[in-house]
Amino acid sequence: MHCVTLGIALVIVAAAVASLGTVLSYVCLSELGVLFAAEALLILVWSCMRRLPPCAVMLYFVALCVLMVRETHLATSGRIPCGLFTFGDSCVETRCAEYNYFIGFQTSCARHACARFEHQELGESFASGEGPTPWLLMGLAGTWCAFLLSARQMWRWQGGSWETETGNERGLASVILAVPATYGLCAVHAVRVLNVNREDTWQAEGMMSAAELYSALGLYAFHRLLVAYTDCPVLRQRSKADQALWRGFRGLIETGLKQYVVLVFGCNALELVAKTWSWMNPSYCVSLLASAASIWFPHHKIQISLSDEVVHNTTHTRTSTMACEDLWNTVSLLMVVANFFTCSIALYAVLRYEHAFADKLKDHSPFWKFWGVKGLLSVNFMQRIVLMVVGALATRQISEDFRTFLNFFLVCIESAILALMNLWAYALPESSFLKDRGVADTPGGCAEEAAEFARLEEAGHHFDEEDEQKHKNTSLAEDQLAQTIGKTFYDD
């Protein structure tokens, strides 16, 4: 009866997700804004409650499913809910290029030629008029595989009854397991956008920035999971000095991770503001771009104008929007440098923690768990470099637009591979008990420490009292030694 009820509930949720995603495919909305809002709410819940409820991650995953249904419907139908503007060159000033002559005298103009063109809007369409390409269909298939595999593993973690009181492992593991679905959604959105409008690389890159934000959140969840694996609740009665050292070490590692999350969150928020400004008031970016150029080069007089070739080859982008995109690229260069250093610090902090507790973590495959979090970010970064080198060395020139498109398409396929790897890397831990001591074996492999602690307690060892007494005796001996040395020098 329970299985039947559960099956009916899943069918109802799936139908609701499919219906909502289909309805939203007719609505013009910012996919980047929706995804960023979902991630921001997840961070807010985690910060306020101090522990991440598994239901919050499940709601985030449901939101991803709704957006994925929307992307699938838009890709198969060719609909463009926000419209696609078409621009072209219109002649605004003509000049006579050839005259008529009568008995050697110039009379009238025989042929006119355009003397000045302007880039003007010619129309707006809400459908691409073409079906989905094989690239897009394969990207959708790979992303849906990532969703199904991630949903299966997340559901298994929700049904576990082994969770310890230290770690909130269900919520932490669910955050990590949703990483492939997040990357797959962002990549398939980028492929669809570039398939409709190859000029809109800013929107495609912006969605991948949102995926990096969730990857940073997943890295922090991975660290907290390592803490849960290594921190034994039964050993919390250690000496005060050991507890202070442990808290300081954990605080240092967590600071290295939090600064990465904060920076990526700020970059995404700033990019969302820039895209909103570009949509509402793009003409203001032209003057801001000139101001930015004067700030970067204060000793030069710079006049900025669009290249005639770029304007002529542009079909679906406003010239003012190009100024906003160039302005954002100028600002993002600084963020790329800061992001590189903060990401390196965060990765080093996690690796140091993993190295410090290598003995306790060896049974939990931390190497593969780590790649389950940062695999797609690292692969995406290396993939871009490889495609850039191949494009530069290829005998036949490969356009930058195609390299960008190919990179996003490969991420769609790789998200399914990462989700498949997570089935093994994040397999459910097995719960066992120390039969002779009655002490639970925590996921961190703390059974030996717990048994030793129980043995010492039975022997009448009290950690705090004896350690404090030892500390007092040591301090007294050091003071007496210092007085003796001082007296010796004084007598000499």
pLDDT 10s digits, 35-65? 999 999 999 999 888 888 888 999 999 999 9
Task: Tell me the C-alpha to C-alpha distance, in Å, between residue 38 and each of 41, 121, 156, 214.
Answer: 5, 35, 23, 10
Name the region of 295 (left: φ>0; alpha: ψ -120 to 50; beta: rest). Answer: alpha
Percent of residues, the chain, with pLDDT higher than 90: 20
Give the C-alpha separation, 379 to 385, whole Å: 10
The three-state secondary structure class of 74 is helix
Amino acid 395 reads T
pLDDT digits (tens, 9 = 90+) for 252-296: 888 888 999 999 999 888 888 888 888 777 777 777 887 888 888
Give the C-alpha separation, 171 to 42, whole Å: 11
Give the C-alpha separation, 211 to 182, whole Å: 6
- Residue 316 or 423, more confident: 423
Enter the DSSP assignment of 235: G
Question: What is the rounded average pLDDT of the residues 450-454?
Answer: 51
> By mean pLDDT, which of 132-136, 161-165, 357-361 is the weakest?
161-165
Residues composing the chain? 492
Highest mean pLDDT among 114-123, 270-279, 453-462 belongs to 270-279
Q: What is the pLDDT of residue 147?
A: 95
| Rounded (5°) CA angle 122-124-130 | 115
The 10 Å Cβ neighbour count of residue 345 is 15
Give the C-alpha separation, 212 to 263, whole Å: 11
Q: What is the pLDDT of residue 148?
A: 94
Q: What is the pLDDT of residue 165?
A: 43
At CB < 8 A and 24+ separation, what contacts does 465-470 make? Answer: 467/239, 467/240, 467/241, 468/239, 468/240
- Residue 26 or 307, more confident: 26
Q: Are strands 105-127 and 432-434 parallel, antiparallel or unpaired?
A: unpaired
Q: What is the pLDDT of residue 23?
A: 92
Q: What is the pLDDT of residue 485?
A: 41
Q: What is the pLDDT of residue 483?
A: 52
The 10 Å Cβ neighbour count of residue 26 is 13
- Residue 477 or 231, more confident: 231
Q: Mean pLDDT score of the chain, rounded to an integer?
A: 77
Terminal Cα distance for the chain, rounded: 93
Q: What is the pLDDT of residue 299?
A: 82
pLDDT band at 106 (very low <50, low <70, confident <90, very high): confident
Question: What is the rounded average pLDDT of the residues 17-34?
Answer: 90
H or E element in which residue 101 lies? strand 79-102
Contacts of 179 (CB under 8 A, 6+ apart): 214, 215, 218, 372, 373, 376, 418
